[in-house]
Amino acid sequence: MTDGLLTWLCSYLLHSSLLIGGLWAAERARLLVRLATSTQETLWRIALLGGLLSASLPLLPALPLPHWSADIARPQFAAQGLAPTSVNATSTLIEAPAAARPAAQLGALPLATGIVSQAQDIAIGFVALWLVGAAVMLAALALQWAWLGRTVRRLPELADARWRRLAAALAADLGLPVPALRHARVGWASPLIAPGRVLCLPRWCLDLPDDEARAVLGHELAHLHRRDPAWRLLTATLQALLWPQVLNRVALRRLDLLAELACDAAAAAPGGQRLALAQSLLRCAEALKLQGAGHGPALACGAASAGSPLLTRVRRLLKADGDAPRERRGVRWGLVAVMLAALVALPAVVVSNTHGGGLLERLELGGVADAIDLPGFVNKSGSKRVYSRYPGGSFAITLDGSVSFNDAEDDVQALSGKLRVREREGGVTHEMTLTSLGEGRIQRDYRPGKESRPMDDAARQWWARAAARMAEHLADPLVRAQRLFARGGVDAVLADMERASDDFPRRQRVEALMRLNQTLPAAAQDRLIAVAGRIGGAFERRQALQAIAGQVLAEPQQLAWLKAAGGIDGDFERREALGALAPRLLTSPDVLAAWRDALGRIGGDFELRSAIEAQVAATPQPAVLGAAVQAASSIRGDFEKREALGAIARRLQGDEAALVDAYARVASGISGSFERREALNQLLERPRLGAAGLERVLASAESMEGGFERLQVLLRVAERLGQASPVDAALIDRLRRAGRGMSEQERGQIENALDRIT
């Protein structure tokens, strides 16, 4: 029973990972961008549920059949040349013939007698952990469902006649029963559909105009029409039951967003509802921010759930109808057919007692076997694995124990445990296995292929080269650096560093030199930075540069360091490297220009914003803040740009005229009204913001599209004007001009604010 459960779970994890991972990769490659929302939703549902079906299909031949199939079973056995099993009067258990079994199994290597019991114990423990975890999560889900139902039943009913009338009209249009209307619980900032067809409305919704109220109701009733509450309960149950598959979260988040987009489209379908729904979503975002409240319970369907980015949905609503993704019907059904074909093919691959390395060796993919080295995952504590590739070959080391080398580093001097070295080059394999026999004795097994052979001169030359490479990876880099430093000083350590053939030992030697705590002259620092700049791996170069950043670097060395950091291939690694230099970054124009150039190579908005925040927090001098504002202008996303500007604003006083002017210009480049408002409000909070700064804020606010967001900025400016004495009449006139084009109600609020200060 345990073996069956483990096989099913492992097969499910493999199949679902292939389905979800493949669809995710297709989406990241923008292959799904022109598909309709309904098509994308269908594909994601197949990916989420398909693993259950494909993993279960291989078990069907072993299911008990009804008694009337006994007569049919005998000819099947005869056709396969097998003796029929005994048949009772009630059921027949058919052993699946070889032709009916899965066509491919990953491995099937017999386990040694000594480890069978250990493997079985591990399997039983894993299955037990899965079942216990599933039971706990299902119990928690049941408690959450019960709590939600009880909480909703205790909420006060909404007696507002307008909302009841609008809900009844929309429900009739959709052919749905009218849902019960209740006030939302404190802390639920989004309208939502709760179990029992109950629509919960937060307080901020109650004063919405009719068009926005219809949009909110249309969205929530669309959830009911699509049966999203039942689907959400089903997916939550699957996630709890199959919790080892973490990729299910990716599929569920994507399905949540697609459900919200589908409901947005349904609610916006009536004429004039697009802008109304977009405005209601922005109000919901405002409520979430101002109240500090959550979206709502996970099992309810809300207008703004945790998995539905509001900005994405608002942008979709503001697009023209012709821009909505769509495709031909044949394309949709063709994609669905491809997914279903994958479900039919996947049962041919199941997971059993496996030795992936053995399978890869039989397929002549031994280099892949070296890279993954599956048995290495169960090595005892203290084992080391090193794998490196180079043009035309690969080099792999597995050490279980400890090893030391002679002074020439061309042979092993002492060994405890076991050491295996394998090199593949030009289709030729050399393998050496060394085993400690105790008392300094070492057994050597050399294999130039698959069979052991005595070592000849060519083999000894290969072994000398292999030992030198092993010493690079396995010898303690600090001990090596100390020995070289004692012999020839820093130059000897640097020369050894420059001779390193791979990124890993080169980085280790850089770090070892830094651990010697020596103050390096400028020439040595130049050589050190040059070595780091030749490291190709992003992680290894970042680690080396972070170690070098602890040195006191003059301007020429910082310029070279920043150039090496800018060449790191990877936004995260580049940002982390720049963060190491942040506390010591010089503020000269050339260094700041090099810093901006390194930042400009970061493509991701989040990483770029994080690098800017780290730098302004470490060195908040005016020159750095000015460079940070320029760097923030290249951020594409409104949210990340606003966050970067906020980090800069918190270091301003407000009387830095050039900085304030540059800040306001960058803020004007934020297209989203909400994000621009937040960026301008950060500037308005500066204690010494003068008339020139207020005028720049008004100029930026004047071009905002959203009337509500512009109004909030203008009211905040009016509040700042009231704090000044005397009141600047020119700024009051400028404030009134910035409010042109707004509604009479909004202009009236501005006049009321001005009346209080004049």
* One-character DSSP codes across 84-101: PPP--SS-B-PPPPGGGS
- pLDDT top residue among 361 and 177: 177
pLDDT at 4: 65
CB-based contacts of 6, cutoff 8 Å, min separation 6: 123, 126, 127
Cβ atoms of 108 and 352 closer than 8 Å: yes
- E strands, 118-232, in order: 180-183, 192-194, 198-201
Phi/psi of residue 271, each to 5°?
-60, 135
pLDDT tier at 395, thresholds 50, 70, 90: confident
- pLDDT top residue among 190 and 713: 713
Q: Which of 15-19, 302-306, 698-702, 727-731 has the highest mean predicted lDDT (pLDDT)?
A: 698-702
* Secondary structure class of 519 (helix, strand, coil): coil
The C-alpha atoms of residue 148 and residue 28 are separated, in whole angstroms, by: 36
Provide the percentage of residues in the chain whose pLDDT is more than 70: 79
Structure token digits, residue 365: 């993919």
Pairing of strands 441-447, 428-438: antiparallel
Question: Residue 216's closest CA among 196, 201, 194?
Answer: 201
The phi-psi region of residue 392 (left if phi > 0; otherwise alpha if psi is between -120 and 50; otherwise beta) is left
> ∠ at Cα 30 (24, 32), nearest 5°?
75
The C-alpha atoms of residue 494 and residue 480 are separated, in whole angstroms, by: 12
The C-alpha atoms of residue 133 and residue 141 are separated, in whole angstroms, by: 12
Across residues 39-43, what is the average pLDDT? 86
The C-alpha atoms of residue 188 and residue 191 are separated, in whole angstroms, by: 8
Query: Would you say residue 617 has pLDDT above 90?
Result: yes
Across residues 307-315, what is the average pLDDT? 63
Q: In what order do the strands lie in the sheet with 180-183?
A: 180-183, 198-201, 192-194, 301-302
User: Which helix (H) or strand (E) covers residue 503, if one does?
Assistant: helix 503-515
Query: Would you say residue 526 has pLDDT above 90?
Result: yes
Across residues 472-484, what is the average pLDDT? 84
Provide the percentage of residues in the chain whose pLDDT is more than 90: 30
pLDDT at 78: 32
Query: Would you say residue 271 has pLDDT above 80?
Result: no
Across residues 676-699, what is the average pLDDT? 91
- E strands, 147-214, in order: 180-183, 192-194, 198-201
Kindly report the pTM of this predicted structure: 0.50
Q: Which amino acid is at 216?
A: V
Across residues 357-377, what is the average pLDDT? 43
Rounded mean pLDDT of the chain? 79
Query: What is the dihedral sign for C-alpha 367, 372, 378, 379?
Result: positive
Which of 283-292, 343-352, 512-521 shows the lowest mean pLDDT across its residues? 343-352
The phi-psi region of residue 476 (left if phi > 0; otherwise alpha if psi is between -120 and 50; otherwise beta) is beta
pLDDT tens figures, 530-560:
999 999 989 999 999 999 999 999 999 999 9
Cβ atoms of 299 and 7 closer than 8 Å: no
Pairing of strands 104-105, 349-350: parallel
Cα distances (Å, whole numbers) of residue 73 to 93, 515, 611: 9, 75, 70
- pLDDT top residue among 123 and 85: 123
CB-based contacts of 538, cutoff 8 Å, min separation 6: 568, 569, 570, 573, 574
Counts of helices then strands in the chain (DSSP H, E):
30, 11
pLDDT at 357: 43
- pLDDT top residue among 279 and 420: 420
Cβ atoms of 531 and 566 closer than 8 Å: no
Query: Would you say residue 322 has pLDDT above 90?
Result: no
pLDDT at 527: 94
Own/partner long-range contacts of 697-705 (Cβ < 8 Å, ≥24 apart): 697/664, 698/731, 698/734, 698/735, 698/738, 699/664, 699/668, 699/738, 700/664, 700/665, 700/667, 700/668, 700/676, 701/676, 701/677, 701/738, 702/737, 702/738, 703/668, 704/673, 704/676, 704/677, 705/673
The C-alpha atoms of residue 635 and residue 592 are separated, in whole angstroms, by: 18
Across residues 8-27, what is the average pLDDT? 84
Residue 154 burial (CB < 10 Å; 0-12/13-18/19+)?
Answer: exposed
CB-based contacts of 565, cutoff 8 Å, min separation 6: 542, 545, 574, 577, 578, 581, 598
Q: Which amino acid is at 253?
A: R
The C-alpha atoms of residue 656 and residue 648 are separated, in whole angstroms, by: 12
Cβ atoms of 565 and 548 closer than 8 Å: no
Across residues 627-636, what is the average pLDDT? 94
Q: In Å, how far from its chain's centre is CA 534?
A: 29
Q: Which residue has the tokens 């050894």?
A: 496
